[in-house]
Amino acid sequence: MAEGYAKSGNQWAASYQGWRNVAAQPYVSDTHGARYVNNYANDIGADNYALFEEAGPAPVGTVLAKDSFTVTAGGRVGAGPLFLMEKMEAGFDPDTGDWRYTLIMPSGKVIGATGGKGAARVEFCAECHLGVEEYDSRFFLDEEYRAQ
């Protein structure tokens, strides 16, 4: 999957699989199209994000990545989009809590990025994540899926 995402030219798409995965295993995320996802955090944000509800605000420069895939009843696996959240400097976009959301298809096509081309296509990301403003717009895994 990462090879396809990397075709986007996005700096994070090529490196996210080397980051800390805070999920013990892939799990189904209804808010990401009922696909299986993994939760990665870069070095800047990993220790903070792994505190889950106790984390407090994310440090500027935190990048969270969710790759996704589906599995058919017959066992065929299909790559899904890569979802990225990047904590930007204060004032980047107060309407998103200063997060840049980026959506990349398995082919590497960038569907949209906050403040960039196709921004309207990722507004739903910010709208959903703003539902958890008390956690700096971050959802956290159910305890059963958290890496120890």
pLDDT digits (tens, 9 = 90+) for 104-148: 999 999 999 999 999 999 999 999 999 999 999 999 999 999 998
Stretch 45-51: mean pLDDT, rounded? Answer: 97
Residues 68-89 pLDDT 10s: 999 999 999 999 999 999 999 9
High-pLDDT (> 70) share of the chain, %: 100
Stretch 90-117: mean pLDDT, rounded? Answer: 97
Q: How far apart are CA 61 and CA 82, in angstroms?
A: 18
The dihedral sign for the CA sequence 86, 135, 103, 16? positive
Given a contact cutoff of 8 angstroms between Cβ atoms, the answer to whether 56 and 137 are in contact is: no
pTM here is 0.96
Measured from the Cβ of residue 142, the count of other Cβ atoms closer than 10 Å reads: 8
Amino acid found at 58? A
Which helix (H) or strand (E) segment holds residue 5: the answer is helix 2-6
Mean pLDDT of the chain: 96
DSSP single-letter state for residue 1 = -
What are the boundaries of each domain within the chain? 2-139
Residue 13 has pLDDT above 90, yes or no: yes
Which helix (H) or strand (E) segment holds residue 37: the answer is strand 35-37
Q: What is the pLDDT of residue 148?
A: 82
Given a contact cutoff of 8 angstroms between Cβ atoms, the answer to whether 128 and 121 are in contact is: no
- Kindly list the strands in the beta sheet with 68-71, ordered across the sheet, starting from the edge strand earlier in the chain: 27-29, 35-37, 68-71, 77-79
Q: How far apart are CA 36 and CA 82, in angstroms?
A: 11
Distances (CA, A) of 132 to 32, 54, 97: 16, 13, 11
Q: How far apart are CA 112 and CA 67, in angstroms?
A: 16
- For domain 2-139, give its CATH number from 3.30.43.10, 3.40.640.10, 3.50.70.20, 3.90.1170.50: 3.50.70.20
Residue 53 has pLDDT above 90, yes or no: yes
Residues 19-46 pLDDT 10s: 999 999 999 999 999 999 999 999 999 9
Stretch 48-60: mean pLDDT, rounded? Answer: 97
